[in-house]
Amino acid sequence: MEFTTRRPSCKASFPLVLLAGVEGAGKTWAAVESTSMSAVDKAFFIEVGESQADAYGAVPGADFLIVEHDGTVGQIRGAIHWASQQAPAEGKHNLLIIDSMTEIWQLLQDNGQEEANRRARSKGRKVPEDGVRLSMDLWNQIKSTWNGILQQCRQFPGPVLMTSRLELVTAMDEKGNPTRDKFWKVQAEKNLPFNCQVVVQARAPRQWTMTKIATTVPELQLQPGAEMTFNDFSVAKLLDGMGIGADAAPSTFVETRPDGEFSEEKQAAKAAEEQAEERKAYVSKQTQGLLQAESSGDVDTLRRALRYYESRSDRELVGMARDTLDRLEKAQRMEKAQETVGNVLDGEVVEPTADAA
């Protein structure tokens, strides 16, 4: 198996930025403000479950295009794909705004619930008002689609700004009972903050707190569990501080995918491959032993080896041992014959006498 290598570019990759906030916090406003950045060529706005995209066109400096769709998962994903195919002008990058990820996550769950209810009705079961419980395969489909959307965002040729709702919720204990502790929770798929390079929360209108950032810029780095508050937050300042410009590198993220690693067929093939490698090493070692015996003229060792291979019905090594033994015995016979001829010739040589001289 061969692999290619490369040196790191030392450039920051275009980030996924999550702007999570309470209602009316200004998360969409903050996203739209960034469309005025000089480094941005085309900014695309995909609105899901919200209704103010046109109004945000009045934000000072706003310059974006609304990508229209019919509200279905297929068209939303199609819109993201289309936006990703639009090449930016030379020396600039594009920008994508998705408002909001909370609504996309809810839409996926609604699709799953609709299918669960349909399956129940097709089997003659009564569907309760709040719907039937989703099966594991439906949850897997929901998560797979969600991950596919995130992968599309990673492939966008520029920063991606995603909004989501933020709520202060009560923490539960190990038994599922409420405690006195509360924490801020992003209202979307639970792993969304982990999948983003930057997470900024607005726990009150226009009051921004950064809870996560992946950057090599020391001034922006956070200690584990620490936060950073901003007096005058803007996405433009954040991206500039991170060194995100037109020369930023595309994401190096490689999507993991199941490859049947644990399938019976693959396990059998893997075992066969390992056995083949072991066999190859074993035959190589035995071959060296046979050649050493031949080199030292050890007929007895070769005969013992032949009998051993025959007892194990190892046709390959039986053939090799026979060939080696035949070569050695033939060489020894020839050597003996030459020795006999030499002795005969030595016996027939007559030394000249003095009279003959």
58: helix, strand or coil: helix
Amino acid, single-letter form, for residue 45: F
CA 351 to chain centre: 90
245: helix, strand or coil: coil
**What pLDDT does residue 357 have?**
46
Print pLDDT tens along the chain (357 aa): 899 999 998 888 999 999 999 999 999 999 999 999 999 999 999 999 999 999 999 999 999 999 999 999 999 999 999 999 999 999 999 999 999 999 999 999 999 999 999 999 999 999 998 999 999 999 999 999 999 999 999 999 999 999 999 999 999 988 889 999 999 999 999 999 999 999 999 999 999 999 999 999 999 999 999 999 999 999 999 999 999 988 887 788 887 777 777 888 888 888 899 999 999 999 999 999 999 999 999 999 999 999 999 999 999 999 999 999 999 889 888 888 888 777 777 666 555 655 544
**What pLDDT does residue 182 have?**
94
Q: What are phi and psi of 307, to 5 degrees?
A: -65, -40
Q: Work out the burial of residue 314: count CB atoms within 10 Å of its CB; fewer than 13 is exposed, 13-18 middle, 19 or more buried.
A: middle
What are 344's two structure tokens?
Answer: 């005969």
Round to whole Å and give the CA distance between 354 and 31: 124
DSSP H stretches of helix in the chain = 27-33, 73-84, 101-122, 136-154, 192-195, 235-242, 264-295, 299-311, 315-348
pTM of the full structure: 0.74
- Per residue, what are the HEC states of 101-129? HHHHHHHHHHHHHHHHHHHHHHCCCCCCC
- Residue whose pair of structure tokens reads 């950073």 in the numeric block: 228
